[in-house]
Amino acid sequence: MITMSVFRIGNEVVDYEIHLLERHLRLLDTELAAIHTAIALSADPDTDGLFDAGEYFIGSGFVAIQRYITSVRCSEKVAQDVALKIPPVLSNGMPFAQALHVGANYWKHVEEWFEPAFKGSALNGLAAKTLDTLEKSTPWAEYTCSNLLAQFGDSNQLLLTPLIPKIMHWRNAMMKLSP
């Protein structure tokens, strides 16, 4: 178990976990690149399940990034509501970390929202808050994670490793808040 994912030695940031995250995202990007190729060759990528496969790997990447964000903010003792508002900020005004956080929560919990307990009733609590926040960046009805990833950068090539510089930007900005 990693107990301190990020710390400083003088002015230098030591971040062992960012390298693990990057390796993880590269593995997911290998799958995403194969899916991009298959989509280009497919007569009907939706029916072939390619969009769903891409959504799965992107959602998994969001969860890994969320775990990293949580690890860093906890090691720096910064409250979640503060950490999620730290730059960078997307073109729609939503903080990058917050968008990733709600994307990961959406991916982890969306199936629960369609359980019989929810049928016929409006979502409430954290589920409603997650969707309200998410809908500021993308509609949640179809391929939500893919649409959200497109908001972060190049919408023609949906890959996760290009997010690493933004994640590091967030980390560095957040570390300036803690003593």
pLDDT digits (tens, 9 = 90+) for 17-39: 999 999 999 999 999 999 999 99
Total residue length of the chain: 179
What's the pLDDT tens digit per position in 78-119? 999 999 999 999 888 889 999 999 999 989 987 776 655 555
Q: Which DSSP string do the residues of 31-52 spell out, in sequence order?
A: HHHHHHHHHHH-S-TTTTTHHH
What span, in angstroms and rounded, lies between the C-alpha atoms of 78 and 83?
6
Q: Are 45 and 137 in contact (CB under 8 A)?
A: no
Does pTM top 0.75 for this prediction? yes
